[in-house]
Chains A and B, each alone.
Chain A
Amino acid sequence: MQTDPKQSEPRNPSGRAPDAGEPVPAPAPLPAEEGAHASEPITSDPGRMVAAPALDHHAMAEAPPGAPATPADARAGGQLLTGAAARAALSPIPLSPGRLAWRKLKKNKLALSGGVVLIVLYLVALFAPFIAPYGYTSQERGSNFRPPMPVRLTPAPTVYEVKKSRDQFLKPIFIEDASRPLPIRFFVRGEPYKLFGVIPTNVHLFGVEGGKRIYLLGSDQFGRDYLSRLLYASQISLSVGLLGILITFTLGLLVGGISGFYGGRIDDVIMRLCEVIMSVPDFYLLLALAGTLPPTLPPVQVYVMIVIILSFVGWAGMARIIRGMVLSVREREYVEAARSLGVSDFRIIIRHVLPSTFTYAIVSATLSIPGYILAEAGLSFLNLGIRDPMPSWGNMLSAAQNLTTLEQRTWILAPGVMIFLTTLAFNFLGDGVRDALDPKSR
Chain B
Amino acid sequence: MLLFILRRLLQTVPLLVGITFISFVIMQLAPGDYLTSMQGNPNVNPETIARLRTSFGLDRPWHIQYLLWLKNAVMGNFGYSFTYKIGVFELMGQYVFATLLLAISSMTLSWAVAVPMGVYAATHKNGLIDRMTSFLAFTGISLPGFFVALLALLFAQRTGWFPVGQMQSANYTSLTPIGKLQDVGWHLILPTLVLGTRGVASIMRQMRGNLLDVLGENYILAARARGLKEKVVIVKHAVRNAVNPLITIFGYEIAGLLAGAALVETVMAWPGLGRLLLSAVQSQDLFVAMGSFVMGALMLIIGNLIADVLLAVTDPRIRFS
Contacts and interface: CB of A to CB of B under 8 A. Distances in A.
Interface in B155-170: 157-158, 164
Interface stretch (B61-69, B228-236, B255-263): B255-263
A367 to B, nearest CB: 10
B248 interface: yes
B251 A2 contact: yes
Nearest to B250: A11
In this complex, the member of B30, B255, B257, B307 whose beta carbon has the largest number of chain A beta carbons within 10 angstroms is: B255
A374 B18 CA distance: 28
Contact of B142 (A9, A54, A407, A427): A427
B113 interface: no
B276 to A, nearest CB: 11
A58 B198 CA distance: 27
B191 interface: no
B138 interface: yes
Contacts of B274: 283-284, 287
A401 B290 CA distance: 27
Interface string B189-229: 00000000010001001100110011001000000000000
Interface string B136-176: 00110111111100110110011000001000000000000
Interface of B is mostly: helix
Interface stretch (A64-72, A87-95, A375-383): A375-383
A83 interface: no
A325 interface: no
B103 to A, nearest CB: 10
A292 B138 contact: no
A110 to B, nearest CB: 9
B262 A283 contact: yes
Contact of B282 (A275, A284, A291): A291
A13 B301 contact: yes
Given A44-B141, A294-B31, A1 B26 contact: no
B255 A281 contact: yes
Contacts of B31: 294
A385 to B, nearest CB: 12
A382 B262 CA distance: 11
A6 B244 CA distance: 13
A272 B138 CA distance: 34
Contacts of B278: 287, 291, 382
A48 B255 contact: yes
Given A57-B245, A281-B258, A288 B150 contact: no
A45 interface: yes
A14 B13 CA distance: 9
B94 to A, nearest CB: 18
A172 interface: no
A284 B30 CA distance: 16
A410 to B, nearest CB: 7
B33 to A, nearest CB: 12
Interface stretch (B120-128, B177-185, B310-318): B310-318
A58 B154 contact: no
A419 interface: yes
Interface residues of B, number: 79
A199 interface: no
A11 B210 CA distance: 18
A55 B252 contact: no
A220 B11 CA distance: 52
B15 interface: yes
Given A291-B30, A420-B143, A403 B248 contact: no
A426 to B, nearest CB: 8
B277 interface: yes
Interface in A388-424: 397, 400-401, 403, 406-407, 410, 413, 416, 419-420, 423-424
In this complex, the member of B209, B248, B256 whose beta carbon has the largest number of chain A beta carbons within 10 angstroms is: B256
A400 to B, nearest CB: 5
B296 A284 contact: yes
Given A14-B8, A43-B202, A424 B30 contact: no
B126 to A, nearest CB: 14
A56 B267 CA distance: 37
B277 A287 contact: yes
A14 B300 contact: no
Interface string A35-74: 0000001011111100010111110000000000000000
Contacts of B259: 47-48, 281-284
Contacts of A370: 142
Contacts of B105: none
Contacts of B38: none
Contacts of B249: 43, 52, 54-55
B321 interface: yes
In this complex, the member of B157, B246, B251 whose beta carbon has the largest number of chain A beta carbons within 10 angstroms is: B251
Contacts of B255: 1-2, 48, 281-282
A47 B260 contact: yes
A8 B213 CA distance: 19
Interface string B48-62: 000000000000000
Interface in A346-400: 370, 374, 377-378, 381-382, 384, 397, 400
Nearest to A3: B252
A53 B18 CA distance: 26
A248 B189 CA distance: 37
A403 B29 contact: no
Contact of A10 (B18, B205, B262, B318): B318
A276 interface: yes
B108 interface: no
A393 to B, nearest CB: 9
Contact of A45 (B26, B150, B256): B256
Nearest to A275: B15
23 contacts: A8-B318, A10-B311, A10-B312, A14-B12, A43-B202, A47-B259, A54-B209, A54-B248, A55-B244, A57-B315, A58-B217, A272-B14, A283-B260, A283-B274, A284-B274, A284-B296, A289-B29, A294-B30, A378-B146, A382-B278, A416-B150, A420-B142, A420-B147
Given A41-B209, A291-B282, A378-B144, 20 more contacts: A10-B312, A12-B304, A14-B11, A45-B141, A46-B142, A47-B256, A272-B18, A279-B15, A283-B259, A284-B262, A284-B296, A287-B274, A291-B278, A292-B26, A370-B142, A377-B146, A403-B164, A407-B154, A413-B150, A424-B139
Interface of B: 8, 11-12, 14-15, 18-19, 22-23, 26-27, 29-31, 138-139, 141-147, 150-151, 153-154, 157-158, 164, 198, 202, 205-206, 209-210, 213-214, 217, 241, 244-246, 248-249, 251-252, 255-260, 262-263, 266-267, 274, 277-278, 281-282, 289, 292-293, 296-297, 299-301, 304, 307-308, 311-312, 315, 317-318, 321
